[in-house]
Amino acid sequence: MRQALPGRARPLERQRRVVQWLVAVGANLNLPGFFTGQIYQGASKSVCVPFLNCYSCPGALGACPVGTVQSFAVNRAVPWYALGTVLAAGGLAGRAICGWLCPFGLLQELAHRGRRVMRPIPVLLTRLKYVIMVGMLPAAAWIVGAGGFGTTYFCAYICPAGTLEAGIPLLLANASLRALAGWVFSWKIAILIVLAAASVAYYRPFCRTLCPLGAFYGLFNRVAVLRLRFAEPLCTHCNACTAVCPAGLDVPATPNSPDCILCMRCTQACPTGALRFGLHETAVATTRAASAEEVR
Amino acid sequence: MGVKRLSRSNARGWALVGMGVLFAIAGIWQGELRDVFLKAALICLECMGLR
């Protein structure tokens, strides 16, 4: 069992929560859509957002990159624009996109709110997201149905964001869509219920086990321009960082782990400032590294 | 020396950002914004679980 978040960690946590809310609301500002059962059709729908946000959510103003790359794969085309968007976002900030911008991540955090026990998720389950990431595009392109075309399999059979943000509000507001609901919808509702229940006990279970975009961004955590900077000489091995990590990571051993969503709790908990998020190494780290190089 | 080290430590990240921007520009150049719009502006039945 891990300890509670220290009091001084809370200001940054609040800032992150404010950013998450601003992005979640800002990306889904077409509020009339929730009442009319129609989705937004303005020009901004051609813009890919860098986080998971279903484009069929009545409020969505932009396009989801996961749905976009799959729909291009169905047509066996390379989605240069959507890939470029997520590549640039990943190169810039890695999984900070998940931790700070993703609306579905915010919802999972709200479900988990107040829980202090950090439960680890079995490693095998955390690897599932890589299988989905790697398999998603070939599946869309090559596993074809009766019409000779594939489909956006992740969206169709797994994505709980689509069910929650698009399926439920549109079915509630649109009777003609309700008539189309069958076993696939029931299956997706079941996934959503399981993940909602899991979110109460586990921190961000979807992000850690199933999200292909999170898996992709995780690959960039170690090289992103903005990343965790660990000044080992300052570390006293007090493990305060590990104790507050909601993902249950051993922070000093694996700073910038692919499973780190850069919530920054560790940077706030560190009593010596050995951990921080940013563009540059801490001064002591660079000075000592430079001295060591000079001695050599 | 410190400055050189800093730029080197971020070089791979900036290279990825640059590559991403180039990909995005290439996509826009090929007219992909229109394709993205056509997909995103219509209700996606698959996304909702209606197929």
B17 with A91: Cβ contact below 8 A: yes
The answer to whether residues A177 and A239 belong to one domain is no
* Contact assessment for residue B45 and residue A179, using Cβ atoms and an 8 Å cutoff: no
Stretches in chain A below the pLDDT threshold 50: 1-4, 6-7, 9, 292, 295-296
**pLDDT at residue number A3:** 47
**pLDDT at residue number A126:** 95
A56 with B34: Cβ contact below 8 A: no
Q: What is the arithmetic mean of pLDDT over B24-40? A: 97
**pLDDT at residue number A141:** 86
Rounded to the nearest integer, the mean pLDDT of chain B is 87
State the amino acid at position A296 in one-letter form.
R
State the amino acid at position A52 in one-letter form.
L
The answer to whether residues A162 and A235 belong to one domain is no
Residue A53 falls within a domain, yes or no?
yes
**pLDDT at residue number A146:** 72
* Contact assessment for residue B47 and residue A162, using Cβ atoms and an 8 Å cutoff: yes
Contacts with A53 from chain B: Cβ below 8 Å? none
Residue B7 has pLDDT above 80, yes or no: no
Closest by Cβ to A185, choosing from B17, B42, B50: B50
**pLDDT at residue number A138:** 87
How many other C-beta atoms lie within 10 A of the C-beta of residue A32? 11
* Contact assessment for residue A74 and residue A150, using Cβ atoms and an 8 Å cutoff: yes
Residue A183 falls within a domain, yes or no?
yes
Q: What is the arithmetic mean of pLDDT over B18-22? A: 98
CATH of the domain at A241: 3.30.70
Question: Taking a contact as any Cβ pair under 8 Å apart, which residues of chain A between 26 and 85 contact chain B?
Answer: 39-41, 43, 45-48, 54-56, 60, 62-64, 67-68, 71-72, 77, 79-85
Query: Which ipTM was obtained for this model?
Result: 0.89
B24 with A90: Cβ contact below 8 A: no
**pLDDT at residue number A118:** 77
Chain B contact for A140, CB < 8 A? no
Whole-structure pTM value: 0.90
State the amino acid at position A141 in one-letter form.
A
* Number of domains within chain A: 2
Residue A38 falls within a domain, yes or no?
yes
Residue A207's domain spans which residues? 7-218
Give the helix/strand (H/E) hosting A13: helix A10-26
Residue B38's domain spans which residues? 2-48
As a whole number of angstroms, the distance between CA B2 and CA A132 comes to 41
